[in-house]
A and B are shown apart, each in its own frame.
Chain A
Amino acid sequence: MAALSETGLVVIGDPGRTAAAIGPCAPTYFPDSADHELTECAVPGAQVRAASVRGLMHRHKREPRQDRFSVVYDDATSTLVIVVCDGVGEFALSQEAAAFVALDTPRAYLMHRDWHAAVAEVNRRLADVVDCAPHRTRLLTTPDHGMATTLAAVAIHFGQTERLASIAWAGDTSVWFLDKGGWASLTDEKSDGDREAPDSGRVQALPAVSPRLTVAQMELTDGALFVTTDGIGNPLRDAEQVRDALAEWWATPPDVFTFARQVGFARKSHLDDRTAVGVWVS
């Protein structure tokens, strides 16, 4: 069940208590990190909507949104590049890693035209960013300068007769395909964990000595692709209510403000940052 609550929250199922209890909180100590970030654009052959929403737990703890995204279109090659990064929350400055990787990866991809080469270069440059982190000035001095980020990226080449999507990911940031048949994850990997062990959120992240990157390709004929952080990806994977609600809302591209409110839907225990970039091909 999905609904607008009396408080104006977009709700899917049981909203829990936190979403209604946590209103605007004190601002973060990292003023480069807006609570929410939106983008909408149209390119030949596709509509794009992007929204990143600061999670309820980060608001409660006065921590910044650690998700980042970028959307770039290369006119010369008719290539749309989308990058979504999820800063690893156990490190205090992961929003800086996520911001750097979201910023630098489109450039690297358009130069190399190969995800492995692009991510390897960005990973090396991110290691330099990490090394310099203790020396950068910030409003808040932090004793912990650690940072890391996951990555999912899509490059869609809009050719004369076909639209080919090249997908790359490291960690639990995910890519989904939506059409009339419903949702399909394009980044599912078989779990090698112990079935009896309690659930764990441990992820592969950058920087890494040897980045573990997976790459896939698919031809797009219709439908929509969504690049999401786990704040969206986890409930989308785990809950039929969420799959149904988002499939209905995102069958066609909504206006960007509606899209952002939907990305920030309230659902009990889902308190993480949320980012989704949707590409509707036409």
Chain B
Amino acid sequence: MTEHSEDRKPEGEGQIIMPFYLLCDVSLSMTGDMDELNKALGQLHQQLLGEPIINDLVMLSVITFNHEARTVVPLAAPEELNLPALSAGGGTDFSPPLREFHARFSTDRDRLKSEGKRVYRPCIYFLTDGEPNNTSYQATMASLITKEKNAAYPYICAFGFRDASAQTLQTLAYPDFGENNKRGRYFIAKDGASITDVLQAMVGVLARSILQSASSASAGTPLVALPEPNAVSKMGGSFV
């Protein structure tokens, strides 16, 4: 075995990081779904743990929101994640989670870059069961999220069920740069689909999306690979 005497140098210098943020609606209307949501998040975690490539390239954070937002899982590799049991309550406002994402990604990125890591463009999966109580999130999108105001803009893929409307989800999906691999997209549950079905379908497609994103690293240009609009059973998908 060959050992170098200077072993205090930063371990992660040059490491590629592909950051994913899961923004989950935990407002009062989600109360009856929390067991299923917690179970789905656990399954997603297990699927990510099962892929060594994801563990080497991807970091995931979970932000919950109702009328406010908080980071319940800080950005970390799947093998370092601890998922708390989520509970529901409160109203629904989309602006706080977008603000929380913006603040946390700025901090996460600064921290990782100070460690010498290479941080690639973030991706948001936005999950909601309803309509926001106000439209202030649109101003937040414009001032903090979009390319015009944020060079480190994220890709956003929105998932909605129950009372969520396509019209609202469309305003969250981002960006719209023409080519299909540079377009946000949104998915809405088909009529009659149970919450269990929807969450199960989402887990599979999120894990595939994250793996495909990580796999693009071999092309030299890691890219976020969002699900194709027809990729989620029980949900209809559209490009923004």
Contacts and interface: CB of A to CB of B under 8 A. Distances in A.
Which of under 10, 10 to 19, 20 to 34, or 35 or more describes the interface residues of A?
35 or more
Interface in A87-108: 88-90
A242 interface: yes
Interface in B51-70: 52-53, 55-57
Interface stretch (B119-127, B182-190, B229-237): B119-127
17 contacts: A1-B7, A2-B3, A3-B3, A57-B215, A90-B221, A196-B152, A197-B152, A198-B119, A237-B14, A239-B116, A240-B10, A241-B13, A268-B12, A269-B56, A270-B14, A270-B16, A271-B57
B139 interface: no
What is the predominant secondary structure among interface residues of chain B facing chain A? loop
Nearest to B220: A201
Nearest to A241: B9
B167 interface: no
Interface in A31-61: 55-58, 60-61
A212 interface: no
What is the predominant secondary structure among interface residues of chain A facing chain B? loop
Contacts of A14: 11-12, 15
Contacts of A3: 1-3
Given A13-B13, A194-B151, A237-B14, 17 more contacts: A1-B9, A16-B55, A18-B55, A56-B53, A58-B218, A86-B220, A235-B14, A238-B118, A239-B14, A239-B116, A241-B4, A244-B6, A268-B15, A269-B17, A269-B56, A271-B57, A273-B218
A56 B14 CA distance: 17
Contacts of B221: 89-90, 200-202
B10 to A, nearest CB: 7
Interface of A: 1-4, 13-14, 16-18, 20-22, 55-58, 60-61, 63, 86, 88-90, 172, 194, 196-203, 230, 234-235, 237-242, 244-245, 248, 267-273
Contacts of A267: 14
Contacts of A63: 218
Q: B7, B218, B219 — which one has the most chain A CB atoms within 10 A of its CB?
A: B218
B161 to A, nearest CB: 31
Contact of A203 (B2, B121, B220): B220
